Chains A and B, each alone.
Chain A
Amino acid sequence: MSLKVTNSPFNQEQIDLLNRLFPTLTESQKIWLSGYLASAQVGNQEGTVEAKDTTKGNTPQTRKVTILYGSHTGNCEALAKEFTEQLQAVHLEVECLSMDDIKPKNIKKVEDLLIVTSTHGDGDPPDNALSLYDFLHSKRAPSLEGVRFSVLSLGDSSYEFFCQTGKDLDKRLEELGASRLYNRVDCDLDYEEPAQEWIQAVKQELGQEAVSSSAPASAVIEEQTTYSKKNPFKAEILENLDLNGRGSNKETRHLELDLEGSGITYEPGDSLGIYPENDPALVEQLLQVLEWDGDLTVPVNKQGEELSLREALRSIYDITTLSKPLLEKTSSLSDSLQKWLEENDSKAIQDYVYGRDLVDLVTDFAPWKGEVSDFVALLRKIPVRLYSIASSQNANPDEVHLTIGALRYEAHGRKRSGVCSVQCSERSSIGDHLPVFVQKNSNFKLPEQKDTPIIMIGAGTGVAPYRAFLQEREETEDKGPSWLFFGEQHFVSDFLYQTEWQSWLSDGVLTKMDVAFSRDTEEKVYVQHRLLENSKEVYEWLKGGAYVYVCGDETYMAKDVQNALLEIIQKEGNYTAEEAETYLNQLRKEKRYQRDVY
């Protein structure tokens, strides 16, 4: 196409010159020229060309451009890719990603942000824009000061909420402190032309950018409190969701807690302790059978602090587990209990305490004598609960994530529930706070040597630390081979963190993954079966220096996995059973066989 006065900003003389020049240019000369002109604009120079080695280029110093697209039918994706090429042709550094593919936490690292998005249905973001859209509209959205942006939105004007997603993002980015590089353009079905006009205008704006501006980072120094087990940090709940899909027998909570300002540090493999609180309904039930007034005050520590009985039973004392010592201690307050203890042996006592709680004890051995404070003084404090951390702090600087299986069962005619897990499930909303501390675990750590192969074996919530491991490896770009064995009940509903493993597999952060879903097939399949199926390769990994990690249920899974490992070593290494034991013990001594089982 040749330039005319009517289709360009030049006069006839310029047009003639340009039209004579353009047909003679090679592709690389054209690209060079456009880059040169853009940079000339930057430096505000007159357009004289110094003779230079053209192969060297004359790339203007620019900020990095990030193009994010939200696309349902592929139009925006295609446009975004086209724009990327156009901008690269003028020597801009450009990254083009689906909105799904940028980690929300990286959004604050972008410099110049171009958004190309469609609107879906009744004003909704396209599927692949949803996560980022929600993140930007959540209270976790970071400040975007210093970011410059422009939005191109595609839509269909026959819809009520025409280009709504583009409008929302445009508004939100401004609210978050980003500055608008060029006004948003809303396109109807015939988007091609306005889209091109938009990118041209954006290109011009980007070209005008002055070279560098380094604002001094303002150092914020805050008074730091040291948090610890004795002084737990009240962490705000940022996210709390059930990882299991519909139809599952399980409920596994994924919690994200805010550690900002706590100074707490942790490493993959560490655990987080939570101070839980008892279920208020159970407290009421206990008060009822105790026939005591919940508003009475009782001392709760040696310093003489007092709380109401109701509050003490809820937040201080363990009311859900019984023990032989507890029975013995409380027998001074119940004649029938004293008598029963005299008549029964240790086995019977153990049988009694298993699966029963304080409500059972109080009911079964009424009446009780003495004062409220006498009774309460015999109770122990609620024990903290420890959970393997499911996140890497390097990847989530101000957060810690947990994977908690909600425990519910029926025993002795009553429904019972795990104190902390069901608190997290039923009585912990986003915005609530949990008292937490980090419990270091030096026995469950990634290899110190980078690039070491690792085999990770876990069932159910036992998969949590491996999420931390892989986040860490991704963040530190540790390219060591990794192999994950995961087991649960059903593929469809119980594949915890499924999409995250899938994306790590496709990125190569995770090398291999094998899964066993025990209730999907007639014959039950567990992780140990998958290990045995891969016997030869597992042994090769061991010989290649792999670290083996096992996390989860101790009684069944960890034992079966250990037997499978012994079988593999024996079979593939031609060892006797004893030699295989020695081999595994050696691995353990070398810290190459680590377990976090419970």
Chain B
Amino acid sequence: MKRRSWPLLGILAFGYAFLYVPILLLILYSFNESRLVTVWSGFSTKWYGELLHNQQLLDAAWLSVRIAATNATVAVVLGTLAANALVRQGRFRGRTGFELLLMAPLVMPDVIIGLSLLLLFVAMQQTIGWPDGRGFTTIAIAHITFSMAYVAVVVRSRLAQMDGSLEEAAMDLGARPLGVYLQITLPLIAPALLSGWLLAFTLSLDDLVIASFVSGPGSTTLPMVVYSSVRMGVSPQINALATLIVLIVAIAVLIAGFTMRRGPNR
């Protein structure tokens, strides 16, 4: 029934090329022997070797991963609660404000979130003595604040799609509300929780601006290290790092696609 429209396909192809050519070039030049991006002087994996011996970068990566995992876990809990509230509690007082507050971090510029949270942490330290200094905890809190909105969006749409009579049936068969949630609702929204977790993890791993504001001395995250080295100009080590990240993401996507195809509820 559908006719192929060539101009449309052309734009589509251009769009994908636009999205992928820079990444492919990054990967290609990570295997370049020369330090210069423009000159291809032979295949080499030496930048990977250098990368793996860059202690500062490795430390930063480990800190980032820890923060990202903490952030993702807490954000999934909070985001799921918020999604429950929005889908299952109907109209409650302050719902509009709740929704506004929840969704605002999705579009709020990073500089504003970073600045305002830093000022909060400073004020809190002055008045109640907590948080004492800035680092892991403050960065995690900041990341959770904006990640939970993303989780809430993902979980909310899954909850809204769910057949409400499943929960009623469970209750009719004798399950109490908490039992219904644990035995029926949670297993059914599990795919959304997983993708929410991964999303929150990635967002945290990717954030430069907010972390720069709320980190303290001695807590440098991976994007901060990358940023300072990128400001110096092109560095093949960063290409190698990019290649590794793309590789990890590609593997994760393949696994996710594979399990989803085999899973019982698509």
Q: Do A and B come from one complex?
A: no
A residues adjacent to B (C-beta < 8 A): none
B residues adjacent to A (C-beta < 8 A): none
